[in-house]
Structure 1
């Protein structure tokens, strides 16, 4: 029986209710009345059947301990991603709520964490990332039946600008930037600006990744050399989407790639640093004198990542369809490609505007008389 009678040495009668799951007792509790014990047992069993049961004892663990478990479960992710969450936890979240039992943390507690981040002057993107991470930690607890509600999802994401608007270079601007670079850095900039590969993917390419096809040379992109925030060195791992793709070598780099493959030992980097090693974002910016080069090319303010946007815009201008752009850039879905660059694929908005009927105006609008086409620039 799951509800049993017990007589204490004092003579008091209690009723012990036990809940079994997969052949073991997962929770038990004593009551002074049998009817209360049966009611509690029925409630626990109903929660089990509905999948909403939680272990109250495990809800007493601290947020810091839970976050440590969650962090350990993310070993399959890229090192850079793990380092980012580790930094956010240790720097901003653990000091605020790390000692709280997870079952006792409220939405108000999470809001106080976000208020503290705002008071420290952190950017909107950083605050959004911190809240998203707290949500994921609580999601982990729910999956493990330690919590039934994710209070962090009751807190709205901070509003404000979170991203710099994508910027891309025109062909002549990309050409000027390439020529403003030291000779060793030119193939890197040209490759990034024409293929849209991520910098970490380019850095990890080796001569062994070059494949001859009936159409020409391709490179197999299947790893990334991400720069560690902790050591500043390169850490090798999978691509951002954990997928392998094949990217055609642009005609402008065909001769360079063939020369590298013919004259390099197996395992050599396709785009080596001056020492023959792997580029990192930091040493490339220093060696290329990035700030000076962009200024000299007349594209001051351009970032290395803008070369990825440049490749997307050039591919679309050349007539590439959504699927082709998605594959070349390595987006996880075509939807993501459309979200970022959809406005470049269609001229429908301009065509619709051009088809608007002419609006006759009876009187000129002050200040607009000189606009070609009549008042307000509309033909009459």
Structure 2
């Protein structure tokens, strides 16, 4: 029950403070000259505590920057990369506007104006929709936590119904890039090392994230069972530090080892001792930026333009596709060089074309000649057949999308793809790759049509009544058609 206490000041005047309990703790109001006013304020605060609407005035006076530090201290169980991203987002986008503002001074209009005109720190221009959306979500989470800790009565970023009207629209996601089996093989063949080839095929056929693949140990690969255990992952912070921890979903999973990958993995395992399967020059974890710069991007450039390079050497029209004209030109070269006339551009065919090209480089500079030699050294490791097509540049993460695409095209179920990729739920798999499952509807329609046509009475199919109770008048009879 609320009550008052009399307190004497240094000047000899008396004042009164109200005392009340909220959440089991005894609290005080500010000082009043009148005992009646102090008691009324204490009773109002005590009643608000019972209704869950009481706010500690001292707590709501905390500035946003101080509250952010306190809020993050309670999130130590989050992934280091998540905490680092939150700090960067707060420092660059939230703090310039609200960092030194007390929590109780933030208004809905302030947040709406800030969300619409948020500026990037480096360019001074309005930040991208994705960055603005992430920053607004961070501030909303901060203010929600302030409400939960009774520092605010309500979140000023939300309407009474709980919506956040100032949230920028979600940006359109970048279209996924997929490689065919033939294109993936081309990229792997263009890799300079056996380790690079194995890693490209592993990512493109199993969908492992880079952090997961780089954290694999030799003991995680079981070729007898045909399984790879995925239970660790490296996370790279902005300062370059690599942290070893759980996978993104904090779950252990197993992915199948494709048969075409078993031989490459066997060779790599034989060359490695206990430790990391893919290692850098110093024996430590293989860094993404190093592999991307030295192995993956050069391989993609060569493999993605292999058909164009071939057509340039043949002197035919550049169509980026192994069309009929290109195949005819390849067969003529093979016939003139006394090679098997297959139309398939193999190492021997590339060697003939490269030799002829070296005789036609008189007008090129020394640098251009060296660059052309290096380019041909890579493409001569590739094999091109009818229908081969060039492709644009892609990222390492696109190999994960490629694995999903190839699995779905091979008839894998949503659940199987989810388990392989390590998604938290099949819903995420469907939302991410919904377009790839459209072909399933076509196959389903064709299968249903074929089954229905097989029961055509003119085909001699036998129809029988389903086993069940007598048919009630007015109700359609249900038949079960079974073909002999």
2:23–2:49 CA contact under 8 A, matched in 1: no
Shift of 1:23: 4.6
Equivalence for 2:101? 100
Equivalence for 2:273? 265
Whole-Å Cα distance in 1 between the matches of residues 298 and 269 of structure 2?
31
Question: What are the equivalent positions in structure 2 for 1:84-95 lying under 5 Å apart?
Answer: 84-95=85-96
Q: Work out whether 1:193 is the aligned partner of 2:285.
A: no
Moved more, 79-88 or 22-31: 22-31
Moved more, 288-297 or 307-316: 288-297
Whole-Å Cα distance in 2 between the matches of residues 296 and 17 of structure 1?
79
Shift of 1:238: 1.7
TM-score (norm 2): 0.65
Question: What are the equivalent positions in structure 2 for 1:272-291 lying under 5 Å apart?
Answer: 272-290=279-297
Q: Work out whether 1:228 is the aligned partner of 2:229.
A: no
Equivalence for 1:317? 409
2:222–2:228 CA contact under 8 A, matched in 1: yes
Equivalence for 1:6? 6
Larger Rg: 2
**Unaligned ranges ≥5, structure 1:** 355-380
Whole-Å Cα distance in 2 between the matches of residues 287 and 264 of structure 1?
21
Shift of 1:310: 0.9
2:187–2:299 CA contact under 8 A, matched in 1: no
Q: Secondary structure at the match of 2:157?
A: helix
Equivalence for 2:263? 255
2:198–2:265 CA contact under 8 A, matched in 1: no
Equivalence for 1:116? 118
Q: Work out whether 1:157 is the aligned partner of 2:147.
A: no
Output one character per residue of 1:229-260: Cα deviation in whole Å (capped at 9) or x when no partner. Answer: 12x24221221111111112222221233344
Pick 1 or 2: higher relative contact order, CA cutoff 8 A, min separation 6.
1
Equivalence for 2:420? 328
Q: Secondary structure at the match of 1:235?
A: strand
Q: Work out whether 1:242 is the aligned partner of 2:250.
A: yes
Q: Secondary structure at the match of 2:433?
A: helix
Whole-Å Cα distance in 2 between the matches of residues 22 and 141 of structure 1?
16
Equivalence for 1:363? none
Whole-Å Cα distance in 2 between the matches of residues 75 and 61 of structure 1?
21
**Aligned CA distance change for structure 1 residues 299 and 74 (closer, same or farther; 3 Å):** farther
Whole-Å Cα distance in 2 between the matches of residues 104 and 61 of structure 1?
10
Whole-Å Cα distance in 2 between the matches of residues 348 and 176 of structure 1?
28
Q: Secondary structure at the match of 1:246?
A: strand
Whole-Å Cα distance in 2 between the matches of residues 260 and 353 of structure 1?
45
Equivalence for 1:370? none
Q: Work out whether 1:142 is the aligned partner of 2:152.
A: no
Corresponding residue pairs, total = 350
Whole-Å Cα distance in 2 between the matches of residues 338 and 102 of structure 1?
40
Shift of 1:202: 0.6
Equivalence for 2:452? none
2:207–2:402 CA contact under 8 A, matched in 1: yes
Whole-Å Cα distance in 1 between the matches of residues 47 and 226 of structure 2?
62
Output one character per residue of 1:308-349: Cα deviation in whole Å (capped at 9) or x when no partner. Answer: 111111111122211111111011111111111133234476
1:291–1:300 CA contact under 8 A, matched in 2: no
2:300–2:393 CA contact under 8 A, matched in 1: no
1:18–1:25 CA contact under 8 A, matched in 2: yes
Whole-Å Cα distance in 2 between the matches of residues 48 and 195 of structure 1?
55
TM-score (norm 1): 0.81
Whole-Å Cα distance in 1 between the matches of residues 302 and 61 of structure 2?
57
**Unaligned ranges ≥5, structure 2:** 159-163, 305-389, 447-484
Whole-Å Cα distance in 1 between the matches of residues 391 and 51 of structure 2?
59
Q: Secondary structure at the match of 1:6?
A: strand
